[in-house]
Chain A
């Protein structure tokens, strides 16, 4: 990029200088003018995005800090400064630490399973076996399902008496499961539904990564007599690791943001067993109108996501193989 800018700008400067010389006889002034106009154009081009980021991402971040240090009335107006009381209350209450634990469990239940499935699907679809185009479409399907549509689809499946899941369990001679009302089961059920929902996007991402691997490498592996499993472990997996790494980062962050399926299927219950962070934030801020406490939770969420992103980068960067 740098190189290109230089060569292009040299030719541009030459031309401008020539033009400038004939008009004013002062080439450096003309070049300065050109440079200024380019910067002005850049400012114009960047302004819309920067303005939007400023209003809807950076300002809110600062505003969150401000709100979290205050108590607020139900209109969202600041009542008085309370210092770190909101944070102290958060960690002193039983609700917030529970939310943290629930969220971590949710990540453990969903992220590895989604990644493993998506990886397997992509590995199968990458091979040029006949009929794989159909499977490719099938595996990508969940990306078209929104969280609310998906939740209601699964609500039918999870129905304790009329749902197909319990019907099949009964067929296999197993006792029916209270998918969404048993405190030990609810988070697992939500996770099952979430894995199903996430697999489409991750599959598309990983398949794209695998298609970027040059065919010749596979060709020579085949000539060397490498079987499909060995090819996968020693060739595909290392070469797709940058994509896998990106997929894992986005999955973990996505799991932290889970809200819709919980709001629709369980409302955080039974006995707070599915009360993930964003749901608890939503309840505090938009059901109980405690914007200060809600903002404190938002900031804790931000800190955790930031920390995890940094950790993932530091650790994974070493193991990831870039071509």
Chain B
């Protein structure tokens, strides 16, 4: 049956919330299938030029043509969905560097995409003068109290001041400066 590999790609993507390993093998196999189907289709049409409107051949042509389109759609959807998840990662984590765990799951092009996307977003943020990934909703207070749960040592914050973030100390800091640190689990917000 055609398009089996392509559907497996989609199912693989649906079965998880995160970004699965880039399935190079299946994509290549699907592309090979497209090429094989295409050559077969062209061969049939050219060999039977006279009778190509007869149902006997037309059924063949329709089936193959649709299978090719289906394969194409599956691959495009697969890649598109992965890009969406990469973008989502950039927004939710606020990190401009890919962690190694994630990086090894991406293809070369996707890594390139991430860094380009990051560049655009960072440039926009610096022009606006606001990190858009930090506060999707307006915060109530500018300063929050945090406890350090991972030893960080001396850290220079975005606003320019230097803090000593030693383990189990609490600090009263500007919210926008340390949101990223709270998000990646180094600090804890105390209410």
A and B part of one assembly: no
Measured CB to CB, the residues of B under 8 A from A are none
